Structures are given as structure tokens and as C-alpha cells.
């Protein structure tokens, strides 16, 4: 059996920065975190064991001596306002790519643009971004929702449109949305489309597609509630009919996958190296073979 692990599998820069920062701060301070620092159960449990307290609302932090960490996904602008008002010590681990999107949304909203945000409305990252979009915006996931958003845009009589994206949105979906907008609004002049999908996401999605075309089985490792992990799994399924998505090595059913000659492994941006290594070890133990990294 040949085991191939993607080069981009595992923590991205923003996630590593947030997790390392929270671990270090928790050594010397009572630390709260607004929401999950990243979408990975193993990471959250590890941080909880280190004394990190996860809360869903900053109003639940009453200890004036404690510090509050902002998750990698970011938060609504109101959280900063509440923290400032109550003199809560904030440590901001929002991914720089997410902060950039907040700045873009704020700038264009203040300049009278209608904003279309590509992604899931309920995703933590987008909840934060929406707070900077003003009153005139739509959140869409695909071309079908785009058509409804364009109808709302036209009804506002606003003549300026900005299109941005969740950092972990699908590259292919964004390209289709961009193409449709250009076709539908080809006579409009003030249409700004900014691909704000982060570079790490682009590389990970492209590598997943390429790798899954070369193997007999594709294993995606990551949290069940991780948006970028789910997208990797969707890509893998389209390119390799034998694709599975797991959080830990314990979910691997060796008797079912030992028949495959070539196995590809990719992991989401919030998947720790330990989870990836444990999957590799389990496969190598059964087959007594070295892991080939591409």
C-alpha cells in the first residue's frame, strides 16, 4: 500500500497563531475565549484541560482580572465595543485574512455599496463580517441564492455592488458566482468583485483535487463542524468515489480500507498534526510500510 499525505494538510498560519497564543497566555492568566478558538474537538478539549474557558458571549465574562481571547474566526464588532466599555483585556487572535475582510466590508459599506458575501450566514467568521456590512447586504452559498440576492440588490436602487467571500469558501463556487454576476450585470459599471478566499485555502483545495484523482481512497481528517474540512471532503468525493471524512484515527475501519493500494490523506486547516500522524501510524502499522509524502 502506498500512503500519500498532502503537503498542505493541517494547521494554517492563522490557526497555528491562535492556538499557540492561547496556550501561552493560559499559562499565566485566567483565560476566556469567545466561541471555539477553531473548529476541532480535539484542540478544544486539549485547551480546556489547560484551563481555557470557552463562552459564547462576552457578557458572561465577569472576572475583571481575566483576559479574553478572540478566536481565529473573528467576532462581531459589538464584542470589541462591549470589551472596551467594560474594560475587559482583549487578546485578538482573529486571522489576519479575516480582519482584512472586515476592513473591506466596512470601507465599502461606508461608501454606499450593496455587499454580497459568499459563505454560510451562520458561520462564525461571517457573523463577524456581517456586522461590518451595514444594512444592505446578502449572504449566499451558491448561484441559486445569488439570483435572489441580485433581485434584492436591484430593489434597493443602489448602483454599487461589492462581492466578497468567506476565507474558506469553495474556489469553484466563487468562480461560478463571479461569472454569473458579470453576465447578469454586464452593463453596470460599479461592480467590485474581490476574491477574499485565503491563499492557504486555495492551495489546500487545489491539492485535494489533484491528489484525490491519483488515489484509490481519499481520507479527509478534520472536525465535523469545520467548514474548510467539509469543502475538502466535497472536492474529494467528486474526484475519488472512495472518500471518507474522519476526526480521529479511531474512526478508521482498517478491514474495509486495507484492500486499497494507494491512499491519499488531506486534513483541514484546524486539524492538529497529532491527528494526522495517528492516522498515518494506524495505516502503517497494519501494512508495515513507510509513508510517502508528496
Give catalytic residue positions: 125
Neighbour count for residue 126 (Cβ, 10 Å):
25
Element (H, E) at 156: helix 143-156
Q: Are 124 and 71 in contact (CB under 8 A)?
A: yes
- Grid coordinates representing 69 are 481571547
Q: Are 249 and 282 in contact (CB under 8 A)?
A: yes
115 DSSP 8-state letter: E
Beta strands across the sheet bearing 262-267? 243-246, 217-221, 262-267, 2-5, 292-293
Q: Name the 3-class secondary structure at 78.
A: helix
Q: Name the 3-class secondary structure at 108.
A: helix
C-beta pairs of 28-33 under 8 Å, 24+ apart in sequence: 29/66, 29/67, 30/63, 30/65, 30/66, 30/67, 31/66, 31/67, 31/68, 31/69, 32/61, 32/66, 32/67, 32/68, 32/69, 33/68, 33/69, 33/70, 33/71
Amino acid at each position: 500500500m502506498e500512503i500519500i499525505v498532502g503537503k498542505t494538510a493541517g494547521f494554517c498560519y492563522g490557526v497555528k497563531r491562535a492556538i499557540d497564543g492561547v496556550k501561552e497566555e493560559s499559562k499565566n492568566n485566567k483565560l476566556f475565549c469567545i466561541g471555539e478558538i477553531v473548529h476541532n474537538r480535539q484542540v478544544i478539549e486539549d485547551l480546556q484541560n489547560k484551563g481555557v474557558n470557552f463562552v459564547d458571549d462576552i457578557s458572561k465574562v465577569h472576572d475583571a482580572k481575566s483576559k479574553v481571547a478572540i478566536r481565529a474566526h473573528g467576532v462581531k464588532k459589538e464584542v470589541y465595543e462591549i470589551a472596551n466599555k467594560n474594560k475587559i483585556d482583549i487578546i485578538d487572535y482573529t486571522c489576519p485574512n479575516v480582519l482584512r475582510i472586515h476592513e473591506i466590508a466596512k470601507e465599502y459599506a461606508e461608501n454606499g455599496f450593496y455587499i454580497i458575501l459568499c459563505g454560510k450566514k451562520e458561520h462564525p467568521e461571517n457573523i463577524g463580517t456581517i456586522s461590518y456590512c451595514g444594512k444592505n447586504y446578502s449572504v449566499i452559498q451558491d448561484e441559486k441564492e445569488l439570483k435572489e440576492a441580485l433581485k434584492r440588490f436591484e430593489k434597493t436602487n443602489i448602483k454599487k455592488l461589492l462581492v466578497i467571500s468567506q476565507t474558506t469558501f469553495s474556489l469553484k463556487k466563487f468562480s461560478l458566482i463571479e461569472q454569473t454576476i458579470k453576465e447578469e450585470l454586464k452593463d453596470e459599471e460599479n461592480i467590485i468583485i474581490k476574491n477574499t478566499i485565503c491563499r492557504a485555502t486555495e492551495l489546500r483545495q487545489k491539492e485535494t483535487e489533484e491528489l484525490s484523482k491519483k488515489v484509490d481512497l481519499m481520507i479527509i481528517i478534520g472536525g465535523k463542524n469545520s467548514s474548510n474540512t467539509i469543502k475538502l471532503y466535497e472536492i474529494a468525493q467528486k474526484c475519488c468515489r472512495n472518500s471518507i471524512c474522519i476526526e480521529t484515527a479511531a474512526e478508521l475501519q482498517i478491514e474495509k480500507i486495507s484492500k486499497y493500494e494507494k491512499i491519499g490523506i488531506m486534513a483541514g486547516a484546524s486539524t492538529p498534526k497529532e491527528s494526522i500522524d495517528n492516522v498515518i501510524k494506524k495505516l502503517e502499522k497494519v501494512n508495515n510500510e513507510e509513508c510517502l509524502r508528496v
